[in-house]
Amino acid sequence: MSEPQRRVSLARSQAEIVVVAFGLLETVSVGITGSVAALGDTLFPAVSLRASLIQDFSSENILLRLRFLHSMAAATAAIYVLWIILKTPKSNGRVSNQVVMLAGLLISQICLGILNVLLLAPVGLQLVHLLVAELSWVLVVIASATLLLPAVESDSEPTLIADFTAPFGE
């Protein structure tokens, strides 16, 4: 009796691998630029929204001049998250809970970021923004891995763990 044939594929295309790699790097850059923005907001608090915007473009301090990079990185990472949401396969015509949570966290992060700017970055709000960012990171990594995990096609029942002992003899 022979074992059923299994075919393993890493992803649907090389382009998906490249998009996921760059998307994850962009997501990391959001965290890095967010750290710089939070440090600048904490060390050099603005007295008004107008003063804050002026600091972004005319300050001698590098922390304040780099603050706008966080918004730019967040916008491109949001595009990646939307791509993940659209690429995640639906089962039985239903969207997975993971995708719903990821969409909710994306909307929450955008709202928290805007609120952070409007309220001149109070520390409590920065911490909530950071918490939602960490939850978002976990879900983005899981969703990215779901897109790239090997899909095992088999002639028999689907299994979660492939039998790796077969190539080494019995």
Q: With CA atoms as reference, report the closest residue to 3 among 126, 135, 152, 156.
A: 156
Say if CB 3 and CB 147 are below 8 A apart. Answer: no
What is the pLDDT, as a whole number, of residue 25? 98
Residue 170 lies in a domain: no
Q: Is the pLDDT of residue 9 over 70?
A: no
| Residues spanned by the domain of 58 | 13-149
Q: In degrees rounded to 5, what are phi and psi of residue 141?
A: -65, -45
In angstroms, the Cα distances linking 94 to 50, 55, 99 are 45, 47, 10
Calculate what percentage of the chain has a pLDDT beyond 90: 65
- 100 falls in which pLDDT band (50, 70, 90)? very high
Rounded Cα distance between 168 and 170, Å, is 7
Residue 163 lies in a domain: no
Q: In degrees rounded to 5, what are phi and psi of residue 8?
A: -115, 130
Number of Cα atoms under 13 Å in the Cβ half of residue 151: 9
Higher pLDDT, 163 or 5: 5
**Mean per-residue pLDDT for 26-42?**
96
Residue 48 lies in a domain: yes
Rounded Cα distance between 146 and 155, Å, is 22
Residue 161 lies in a domain: no
Residue 110 lies in a domain: yes
Residue 155 lies in a domain: no
Residue 37 lies in a domain: yes
Residues near 46 by beta carbon (within 8 Å), at least 6 away in sequence? 52, 55, 120
Rounded Cα distance between 165 and 132, Å, is 42
Given CA atoms 104, 106, 110, 113 in this order, what sign does their dihedral have?
Answer: positive
**pTM (predicted TM-score):** 0.80
Say if CB 33 and CB 70 are below 8 A apart. Answer: yes
Residue 72 lies in a domain: yes
Number of structural domains the chain divides into: 1
Q: Which residue has the tokens 């295309």?
A: 13
